[in-house]
Amino acid sequence: MRVLNYSDFRNNLAQSLNAVNDDREIVVVSRTKGKNVVVMDLDEYNAIVETFHLTSTAKNRQRLAESIQEMNDGTFKAHKLSEE
């Protein structure tokens, strides 16, 4: 994670955004007259949102844990995907 003050971020905007996209770098922009902000790659953000959704209920968390256990134990069943 990189922390930059607002002026440095603004002066090196393209370089900072490229680091965010290319290197999955998270940039925290510190501001003296406002709250700090986080800049992150959209794919990373979407992955976090999906994880929050998948783990949002106890039933989902339990099903995911069971699936992971089946995978680790080798007791899962492979299925062909339907092309419907």
CA 43 to chain centre: 7
Please check whether residues 52 and 35 belong to one and the same domain. Answer: no
**Domain span at 7:** 2-40
Strand 37-39 and strand 2-5: the pairing is unpaired
The pLDDT value given to residue 66:
92
Please check whether residues 8 and 35 belong to one and the same domain. Answer: yes
**Helical (H) or strand (E) element with 8:** helix 6-11
The pLDDT value given to residue 83:
83
Q: Considering its fold, how many domains does the chain have in total?
A: 2
pLDDT per residue as tens, the chain (84 positions): 999 999 999 999 999 999 999 999 999 999 999 999 999 999 999 999 999 999 999 999 999 999 999 999 988 888 888 887
Nearest to 29 by CA among 18, 45, 13: 13
The pLDDT value given to residue 41:
96
